[in-house]
Structure 1
Amino acid sequence: MNPDEVAHLLRGAGVPWWIAGGWAIDLHLGRRTRAHDDIDVLVLRPHLPQLREQLTGWDVHAADPPGTLRPWPVGEELPRGVHDVWCRPTSTADWRLQLMVDDLVDAGAGGEQEWVYRRDARIRRAWRTLSGPASTAQRAVLAPEVQLLYKSAGPRAKDEADFVQVAEVLDSSRRVWLIEALRLTTAQHPWVDQLRVIASP
C-alpha cells in the first residue's frame, strides 16, 4: 500500500490523519529510500470512531493489550491504553496499514487542543502543526522532526539511516524543536550532538 492508496481509502472520513513512519521520511526527502512492508498512519484518539467506520469491510485488529492483537469491531470504543491498530483488506491478506493512535490534551485558556507525545507528556504542540512540508491537499504527511522523535526511542538500523538522511535537510526551527524534545526524553541522546554539528557553520 502506498500513500496515494491510503488517501483514497480514507477519503471521506472527515477527520485529520498523517502519513507516518518510513513513508513520511521518503516523502519528505522526495525519493524512495527503501522498501516498505506496510504504511503507518498517525491518527488522533477522538477521531477513531470515524476512521473505524471508514474501514468498514476491512479486517481491523487492536493491539489490546499491547503486543496482542484482537478484532476491533465497528462501534466499539478502544481503551485509552491502545495506541496501535492493524488493518488489512481481508482476514487472509497481509497487514497493509497500521494506525498509530495519539492523544490530545487541553491547551488551557480556551486554546485549541494539543497533540501530546505518548512517551513523554511534557512534549506537546498544536495538532495542526503536525503536518510537514511534504503534505498535499490530498494527504498530510507527519512533520519530519516529529517522526524522528518517534524513531529516537531505541533506534534500529533503519531509524539511524533515516535520521542521517533527514537531519541534514531539516530547517533550523525543526532542528531546534527536535533537539529540545530529545533533551527532555533522554539525558544524552547521541542525535543531539549530531544535530548541533550539522547546525554549526
Structure 2
Amino acid sequence: MMRIETPWGPWEAAPLGEVVALMRGLAAPWWVAGGYAIELAVGRAYRDHADVDIALLRRDQRAVRRLLSGWDVHAAVVPGTLRPWALDEVLPEQAHDIWVREHPHGPWRFQLMLDEADGRDWIYRRDPRIRRPLAGLTVEEDGFHRLAPEVQLLYKSKGVRPKDATDFEMVLPLLSEERRRWLGAALELEHTAHPWRERLGS
C-alpha cells in the first residue's frame, strides 16, 4: 500500500473493495472515479494508486455526510487548505474535494468529489458548456458504477501528469467511436488545442 505524506497528514488509501462496500450504504447515486475508473474500464491492474476517488452529485452531499457520520471528514473549501466538514453543514459551491479518514490521528483513506448537475444533466465544473445526461455519465459493472472513461479523461486533460498519460494510452484502444467523438469535442471546448485530440482523430 502506497503511503504519501501531505501537509495535512499521511495518505494510505483504503483498498477499493472496502470503499465500494462502504458506499453501498448510500441511497443516492455514486461512482468510482479517478485512476481506478480508467483501470476498471481497461479490465486489469497496470499501475499503483495513491488514492481512491468516489464521486457523487453535490445535491446529495448531506446523504453522504450522514453515511460517514463516524468518520473524520474534511473539505477543501479554500484551495490549499482543509477544514472539518460538520455533520449538518451544506458545503459552499467552491468546495468539491473532500478527504476522509477513520479518525483524526489516522491516515487519509479516500476522497469524495462533488459533481454538478442541472436536473437530469451532469455539468462539467471547469466549463459549464460541457454537459451530458446523467443516464450516460457512468458505466455499471460488478454491481457498482464507475465514471465513463471519456469523462474521466476530460478531468485528467488539465495539466497532464505521467500517470494521466499512462491512463490515456491504456484506455484509448478501448474507446468506441462515440466516446472518442465526445471527448474530442469536449477537449476542443475547454482547451481548443490539446495533444490528445489528434490521437482521438478529432
TM-score of the two chains, using structure 2 as the length reference: 0.90
- Total equivalences in the alignment: 189
Cα distance in 2 for residues equivalent to 1:79 and 1:17: 20
Task: For residue 165 of structure 1, report the CA deviation from its aligned partner.
Answer: 1.1
Q: Which amino acid in the other structure matches residue 178 of structure 1?
A: L
Cα distance in 2 for residues equivalent to 1:97 and 1:128: 25
Which residue does 1:109 correspond to in 2?
Answer: none
Match of 2:64 among 35, 38, 51: 51
Decide whether the 8 Å contact of 1:37 with 1:96 is kept in 2.
no
- 1:37 paired with 2:50, answer yes
Task: For residue 2 of structure 1, report the CA deviation from its aligned partner.
Answer: 2.9
Structure 1: segments with no counterpart, 5+ residues: 107-112
- 1:122 paired with 2:122, answer no
Q: Which amino acid in the other structure matches residue 130 of structure 1?
A: L
Cα distance in 2 for residues equivalent to 1:170 and 1:137: 20
Decide whether the 8 Å contact of 1:103 with 1:118 is kept in 2.
yes
Cα distance in 2 for residues equivalent to 1:136 and 1:6: 16
Q: SS in structure 1 opposite 2:197? A: helix
Residues 135-144 or 37-46, more deviating: 135-144
CA RMSD of aligned residues (A): 1.3
Structure 2: segments with no counterpart, 5+ residues: 1-13
Partner deviation per Cα, 1:10-32 (whole Å, 9 max, x = no partner): 12210011101111111111111
Cα distance in 2 for residues equivalent to 1:141 and 1:11: 13
Runs of 4+ in 1 over 3 A off after TM superposition: none
Summarize the alignment of residues 1-201 of structure 1 with structure 2, pairs less than 5 Å apart: 1-106=14-119, 113-132=120-139, 135-136=140-141, 138-196=143-201
Decide whether the 8 Å contact of 1:148 with 1:163 is kept in 2.
yes
Cα distance in 1 for residues equivalent to 2:200 and 2:143: 31
Which residue does 1:110 correspond to in 2?
Answer: none
